[in-house]
Amino acid sequence: MVEVYKSTVIDAPADRVWGVIRDFNGLPGWHPAIAESRIEQSHPADKVGCVRNFSLHDGGRIREQLLALSDFDFTCVYSILESPMGVDNYVATLRVIPITDGNRSFLEWSAEFDCPEPRESELIDLVGNGVFQRGFNALKERLGGR
């Protein structure tokens, strides 16, 4: 099993950051790789079990299922059901932790998945930098950060 972990600090309060990333269907509003998204079967975007179906600007399509969402812990857990990446058993967690010194936020984004061994390095880079870090950078631009 491959593990990917990225973290960052954003100069914005945790509840403000969470307000942006909490919407399971809101990726196109803050992540630059996402072109459009919809929740299948018209379920609410915060209903555990709902499936988001989104397209990337490069034409790829991904389906992900919301496994857990906690407004108390500012945590979202989801799995990939279908993607062009060629990963299996993909489960990711995105979490916001309040930093009381300066009213900032610490964000963690991690994933575990299975993939063919020859592609491990490529997929670690794609997920860690192309998805997680790119998303962090966009959140910093939108909400504040260095």
Residue ranges of domains in the chain: 2-143
Stated pTM of the model: 0.94
pLDDT of 146 > 60? The answer is no
Q: How many CB atoms lie within 10 A of CB 94?
A: 19
pLDDT by residue (tens digit) across 12-62?
999 999 999 999 999 999 999 999 999 999 999 999 999 999 999 999 999
Q: Where are the beta strands (DSSP E) in the chain?
A: 2-10, 34-39, 51-56, 61-70, 75-82, 88-99, 104-114
Residue type, 92: A
pLDDT tens string 73-127: 999 999 999 999 999 999 999 999 999 999 899 999 999 999 999 999 999 999 9
Instruction: Give the Cβ contact number of residue 17 at 10 Å.
Output: 26
- pLDDT for 97: 98
pLDDT beyond 80 at 145: no
CATH of domain 2-143: 3.30.530.20
Instruction: Supply the pLDDT for residue 69.
Output: 98
